[in-house]
Amino acid sequence: MKKPFLITLIAIPLLFAAAARAQVPADRADLLKKMDARAQHFADVSHQIWEFAEVGYKEVRSSELLKSELRAAGFQIQEKVADIPTAFFASWGQGKPVIGILGEFDALPGLSQEAIPQQKARVAGAPGHGCGHNLFGSASDFAAISVKEYLAEKKIPGTIRFYGTPAEEGGGGKIYMARAGVFNDCDIVLTWHPADANRANVGSNLANITAKFRFYGKPAHAAASPDKGRSALDAVMLMGNAVEFMREHVPQETRIHYIITNGGASPNTVPDFAEIYCYARYPSMPVLDGIWARIVKCAQAGALATETRMEMELINSAYNVLPNGVLATMFDHNLRLLGGVHYTPEEQAFAEALSKTLQPGDGLKLGSQEKIQEISHDVSYASSDVGDVSWIVPTAEMNTATWVPGTAAHSWQSAATSGMSIGQKGMTLAAKVLAMTALDLFTDPKQVQAAKADFDKRRAGNEYKSRVPADQKPPLNYRDKP
Ligand SMILES: [Zn+2]
């Protein structure tokens, strides 16, 4: 009696393993094998972009590199879209469906970091890839090219498109691309973001409006003739105070933050110019519109009280993300099919050393990168210009573990891991999940229809309307000091 029982114990896991493998059809297994063979090449692409570390709207070399890969693979490239030198899209194929994949590639100021588990800048004070957008753009490029080859080989109709979207970090590249209509003929948009875990998302985030408020006063000697001056800095401080009082009287989930980007040139001259850069966020755009109108009143009040002139330049206005349940389920399925991220002994040692520098908390622990988390329903308190795209086209985002579990975005730890093999492994997983999901959509039109039905239901008749005025140019120099 015991022997057959033991055989059963051994046989059941083997059967399960065989069943799990059997879920990847043979031709897809072939695609994955080809992607494995090319993974190092795209890891190198991501590493070059990590080294370029170009900030928003200045990603000239990064976007050129991604374009050159797509061009070599036979994609048609539309350059400089929406009057942005580094924005582009690349298409291959014909007709419907049009499946788009988003790629980002901008770095963050001040986050230069070596690919080591201790904090050390490559170039002191220089930008770095603390949000892993070097991996983001490269994985999406990799996925689009892999999908193209599969479609060509199997003669499957449809169009695969890669969107090169600059300046996600505050510059809102996608909102200007959305205003230019580049997403309008797309049926589905797939995207991802580097993270410390593998998961599909059906949650959302906060809508965001940001602007620079500039005040113009009159200069005068601050001691000898202060009565002749009108202080632009006073206007900034009054605006800031008014916003602080307002903070008590806004809905609980509101976030308002600002910095003074210019407070005058010298204490002994009444400042004739000052600038404040302000963000406001809320989970719904129509509610945020009302909050924002009150912030503008605070700015007007500062100008009125100080007899200065105020100008507002809108920088960004991202919608909250409209999730898609159908696409999230497809992402989750493919993540589970492919499994998590497994470290080599060297990577494990790197991850352990880096873990010691992380804040101990109740976040994910080392080892969890091997697992696929449950589909997330969380509302993140951050914002992204993917939001605007998601109100135009059914859109879904997933994450892979490119960072050591417990790592936060915009940290030196995320910049470090984004420049070495741990990040690159997560990136290859992302490319595979994107490619598999895109192919599921190309080969099963019912899924495209289901995703559209979910989109219509969630949108509930609310049409997308860009918050950017029609005559406003993209803020190509928003990272420059005033
Ligand atoms: Zn990011």
Q: Answer yes or no: are the C-beta atoms of 90 and 144 closer than 8 Å.
A: yes
With a cut of 50, say whether residue 2 has pLDDT above it: no
DSSP code string of 233-257: HHHHHHHHHHHHHHGGGS-TT-EEE
**What is the pLDDT confidence band of residue 482, given thresholds at 50, 70 and 90?**
low
pLDDT of 360: 80
What confidence tier does 427 reach under pLDDT thresholds 50, 70, 90?
Answer: very high
The pLDDT tens digits of the residues spanning 200-212 come to 999 999 999 999 9
pLDDT number for residue 10: 45
Is the pLDDT confidence value at 56 over 70? Answer: yes
pLDDT at residue 411 in the model: 96
Alpha carbon 105 to chain centroid, angstroms: 9
CA 71 to centroid of ligand 1, rounded, Å: 25
Burial 157-175 (b: 16+ CB within 10 A, else e): ebbbbbbbbbbbbbbbbbb
Residues having C-beta closer than 5 Å to ion ligand 1: 131
When pLDDT is averaged across residues 17-41 and rounded to a whole number, the result is: 81
Centroid of ligand 1 to alpha carbon of 294 (angstroms): 29
C-alpha 289: how far from its chain's center? 23
130: CA distance to ligand 1 center in Å? 8
* For range 412-418, the mean pLDDT: 98
Q: What is the Å distance from ligand 1's center to 291 Cα?
A: 25
Angle at the Cα of 142 (from 141 to 144), degrees rounded to 5? 65
The whole-number pLDDT of residue 23 equals 74
136 CA from centroid of ligand 1 (Å)? 8
In this predicted structure, the answer to whether residue 316 has a pLDDT above a threshold of 70 is yes
As to burial, measured by CB atoms within 10 angstroms (0-12 exposed, 13-18 middle, 19+ buried), residue 473 is exposed
What is the average per-residue pLDDT within 307-318? 94
- Interval between CA 192 and ligand 1 midpoint (Å): 10
Structure tokens at 89: 């899209």
Buried b (16+ CB within 10 A) or exposed e, 9-21: eeeeeeeeeeeee
- How does residue 164 score in pLDDT terms, banded at 50, 70 and 90? very high
Q: How far apart are the CA of 221 and the centre of ligand 1, in A?
A: 45
Question: If you measure from the C-alpha of residue 248 to the centroid of ligand 1, how many angstroms do you get, rounded to a whole number?
Answer: 30
- As a whole number, mean pLDDT of residues 162-181 equals 95
* Residue owning tokens 């049926």: 187
Residue 44 corresponds to which tokens in the numbers above?
């190198």
CB count, 10 Å around CB of 33? 9
For residue 5, pLDDT over 50 is answered with: no
DSSP string, 284-313: SHHHHHHHHHHHHHHHHHHHHHHT-EEEEE
Q: Is the pLDDT of residue 409 over 80?
A: yes
In the predicted model, is pLDDT for residue 297 greater than 50? yes
Mean pLDDT of 357-383: 92
Q: What is the pLDDT of residue 24?
A: 85
In this predicted model, what pLDDT tens digit does every residue of 137-147 receive, in sequence order?
999 999 999 99
- Model pLDDT, residue 344: 98
Ligand 1: distance of its center to the CA of 241 in Å? 31
Q: How far is the CA of 258 from the centre of ligand 1 (A)?
A: 20
The chain-wide mean pLDDT, for the chain, equals 94
Please tell me the number of Cα atoms within 13 Å of 330 on its side-chain side. Answer: 29
Using the mean position of ligand 1's atoms as its centre, give its distance from the Cα of residue 131 in Å.
Answer: 5
Over the stretch 320-343, which tens digit does the pLDDT of each residue have?
Answer: 999 999 999 999 999 999 999 999
